[in-house]
Structure 1
Amino acid sequence: MKALPAVMLFALPCCFSPGLIASDLSSALQQSSVSAHFRYRLEYVDQDNQLDDAFASTLRSRLSVNTGKAYGISALLQVDNVSLVGNDNYNSTVNGKTDYSVVADPKGTDINQALLRYQNDSGTTFSAGRQLVNHLNQRFLGGVGWRQNEQTLDGYRLQQTFNANISAELGHYHNVNRVFGPKGASADQGGSINTALLQWQLNPAHQLAAFGYDFDFDNWAVRSSRTVGIDYQGKLSSGPKLSWQLALAKQDDAHNAPLSFSHHYHRLSLSWALDSVTLQAGQERLAGDGQSAFQTPLATLHAFSGFADMFLNTPSSGLRDNWLEAKTKLKDVAITLAYHRFDSDLGSQKYGDEWNASAGYAVNKQLSALLKLAHYQADTLAVDTTKVWLMLSYQL
């Protein structure tokens, strides 16, 4: 073995001296933080069927510990507890109360995130462990933050920032911690989940992204697939405050999928910001052939196709969602009103219509309140459904 240069031999005791190591660890400890977040939610569900109306009154308590960095390494630990406030008069998917409508907020305590992260000055970040992964608008991969038990992934993620405008990410995960946990048959989905994302800020007004997802589920073969696509967002640099999004994707069967398929997806939206109101119109299409359809099983689905969550699984004839939305602010209250019309992609079947409304108010930097309503009127899919939510969030 080659001898080390004398200068390196002289430097080693200094660079790795116990005193310096203790100093770096002490600095990391001083940079560490502990936070707590509490979210109470009352959810009411009324469906036009034989099920009893659901009343779910739950409190999510979250404790987060972030360490400072030592030698580029830091850690995050986040623990969630979902507790009942009153009776559990709802079907949580694990409590056995199948006479009630579903509210997918089971009680329990779980580790939401637990990871080690390495960062350097060259724009590289590598994280290993249980982590929250949100891509773009979360249409294909997201944490489902609306539910009390968040969706997280177990595995590895490499992120690289090349310059101020271009970044890339690769991920490999072996388990999905779903919103139906921490216990129950659907709490976890194991497999080989591979993700890729490339983002390019062309200029301040235009952003382009390319993505790819390869899902090979162990016990969920019907959702094994391979998806590739692009996402473009832009806005006018001057004149009317117009902005838009165009997303295109193609999904094919892969691995152990029981059916052969090839489906397309598009999303097109146009927004116009006026003095006090922002208007949006759009269409989203998830193709279907009558036997299978374009699916996004790891998306934050509550944010798409209406608040009533009638399309968590795309019908086999596909889905076309045409919507209009208006947002405004009355004093300090943020108000949103939206209308959706849902139709099949194959044929001319009308599934139904839905109205959504929400009002959010930030009392201060720590406390906020939200009221949401959804009413789905069925034509040929599911039944008339009304949902109401009242939520209070408090950050320590």
Structure 2
Amino acid sequence: MKSFRTQAAMIALTGLLGMAQSARADTAPAQSHVGDPISIGDGVSFDPMLDARLRWEDVDAGTKSADAVTLRTRLGFEVKDTHSHLGFLAEAVGTLALDKDYSAFPFAVANNDQYRPALATVADPQTLGLNRLQLQYATKALTLTLGRQRINLDDQRFVGSVGWRQNEQVFDAVRGQVHQGVFDLDATYAIQQHSIYGAYGNPRDYYSGRFVFVNGGVKDGPISLKGFAYLLDYDKTGFINLPSTRGQLDSSQTYGMRFATLLPLSRTVSLGLTGSFARQSNYGNNTRAYNVKYYLGDAALTAHNQTLNAGYELMGADANAVGGTWSMQTPMATLHKFDGWADVFLTTPNAGLGDSYVGLSGKFPKVKALPGLNYAVSYHWFGSDVGNVKFGDEVDASVGFRTRRVNWLVKYASYVAKGFGTDTKKFWLEADYAF
């Protein structure tokens, strides 16, 4: 929180965003809303899409710091035909960097001045490109999607869109989803993973390979039981410019199960339970032989819109792996959702990672002055799976609310290193507008 110019830019642009959305709302017809689908024929609709996010992120990580103000805009449309059940979606994305006080990449990028190794990383590079381009057939029982698309599976622990970053992760894939009674099946075959580093993030702008995601199970009343299989086989050339220590080590096969239930204890009190178990081992082009386990257990007690939760997640490690101790990796996950918002553990340490956590969150629907008012606070204790090393502790906190059609977020993370990484503090102020 050190640059007056950065803060001034944030305030000014926030004001412009607010005035823009107010003007659009005031000029819209009384019977409709800005961004509503438009009928263009018998059963055919045109749905414009806009998603704008203005964010200030401040980082203090040991000897490095960063101060980033970025504006991300996604603009697109979707055309649907109710008779044929077909839809076509196209969406572009652009991120504008409003200052240069951060490094957009944690790795060297040729001929790109957004790599600034003296500064801390904020992985929101200035970029412009195609975000999604897909053709979809959708009924209540079957959905088929072909093209560049967003994929979020379960809690996004293994496959997700990394929606926290300004440039999201998308896949070139064919995906089928079947819903029949209490049974669901979700299967995807992808050939490219487009990363958060955007169009100018070579060599990590995208990764090619053969990726299979299968996720299915039953949901009967409050109980959900699923099985999953994720097979990641990265092309050898896809990692040619990455450090040799990584190589093909993200090629893996993961098989597991997930259980979730929500039990009503009274009219205003409920108990949510979630559990997951998986095994991961080397696959495809990965020359390192290893076998590790994954565990998750979480309990959440909700009363009067307030939730107290506690849990434990283990990303296991194999001390007998070929080449030395190796751990579970999830290179397609929405990693910011897990293991603390400071993002110290985006790559699982070789010795594995155990995360014991407790959190309190809630919302206040009766506060009319700040619609959508909500908060979340959590505390994490991190340690290794192999070697019994205490890595560090972290506290995270956030507050969100809405003014007209702008959603606001204030967020903070503080990691205290004990046996891994460096002390890290991060602060965010964000405004979102979408239709």
Structure 2-normalised TM-score?
A: 0.81
In 2, Cα distance between the equivalents of 1:256 and 1:276?
48
Query: What letter corresponds to residue 337 of structure 1 in structure 2?
Result: V
Q: Which residue of 1 aligns with 2:173?
A: 155
Cα contact 1:28–1:67 (8 A) shared by 2: no
* 1:293 aligned residue: 327
Deviation of 1:348 (Å): 1.2
Establish whether residue 128 from structure 1 lines up as the match of residue 162 from structure 2. Answer: no
Q: CA deviation at 1:115?
A: 0.5
Partner of 2:391: 351
Q: Distance in 2 between matches of 1:395 and 1:254?
A: 40
Shift of the alpha carbon at 1:283?
A: 0.2
Deviation digits for residues 160-202 of structure 1 (CA, Å, limit 9, x no counterpart):
1122x21111110100001011222111010001110103112
Q: Is 1:282 matched with 2:282?
A: no
Q: Any stretches of 5+ residues in structure 1 without a counterpart?
A: 1-23
The root-mean-square deviation of aligned C-alpha atoms, in Å, is 1.6
Which position in structure 1 is the counterpart of 2:119?
A: 100
Within the candidate set 161, 164, 169, 1:146 is matched to: 164
The answer on 1:235 being equivalent to 2:262 is yes
CA positional deviation for 1:73: 1.9
Q: How many equivalent pairs are there? A: 365
Output aligned runs, 1:6-155, within 5 Å. 26-27=41-42, 29=44, 31-49=45-63, 51=64, 53-69=65-81, 71-85=84-98, 87-93=99-105, 94=109, 95-120=114-139, 123-155=141-173
Q: Distance in 1 between matches of 2:331 and 2:260?
A: 23
> Conserved in 1, the CA contact under 8 Å of 2:128 and 2:198?
no
> Does the 8 A contact of 1:27 with 1:68 survive in 2?
no
| 2:386 alignment partner, SS class | coil
Give me the identity figure in percent.
Answer: 30
Query: After superposition, what is the alpha-carbon deviation per residue over 1:314-344, rounded to whole angstroms, capped at 9, x for unaligned?
Result: 1011010000000123534211110000000
Query: How many angstroms does 1:37 deviate by?
Result: 1.6
Matched, 1:335 2:336: no
Q: Is contact 1:227–1:251 with CA below 8 Å preserved after alignment? A: yes
**Superposition deviation, residue 215 in structure 1:** 0.2
Counterparts of 1:54 and 1:124, CA distance in 2: 46
Residues 408 and 431, structure 2, Cα contact 8 Å, conserved in 1: yes
Where do 1:170-181 residues align within 5 Å? Answer: 170-181=187-198
1:211 aligns with one of 211, 228, 243? 228
Q: Residues 281, 187 of structure 1: CA spacing in aligned structure 2 closer, same or farther, 3 A cutoff?
A: same
TM-score by length of 1: 0.89
Q: Is the 8 A contact 1:284 1:320 kept in 2?
A: yes
How far apart are residue 28 of structure 1 and its match? 5.2
Q: Would you say 1:389 and 2:428 are equivalent positions?
A: yes
- Cα offsets for 1:121-163 (capped at 9, x unmatched): 6x22211100000000111100000000000000111111122
Is residue 40–residue 46 contact of structure 2 (8 Å, CA) maintained in 1? Answer: no
SS in 1 for 2:249: helix
Q: Distance in 2 between matches of 1:328 and 1:159?
A: 32
Distance of 2:215 and 2:42 partners within structure 1: 34
Structure 2, unmatched stretches of 5+, are 1-38, 240-247, 320-324
Alpha-carbon distance in 1 for matches of 2:179, 2:298: 28
Pairing partner for 2:284 from 255, 266, 277: 255
Residue 188 of structure 1 is matched in structure 2 by 206
- Alignment-derived partner of residue 22 in structure 2: none
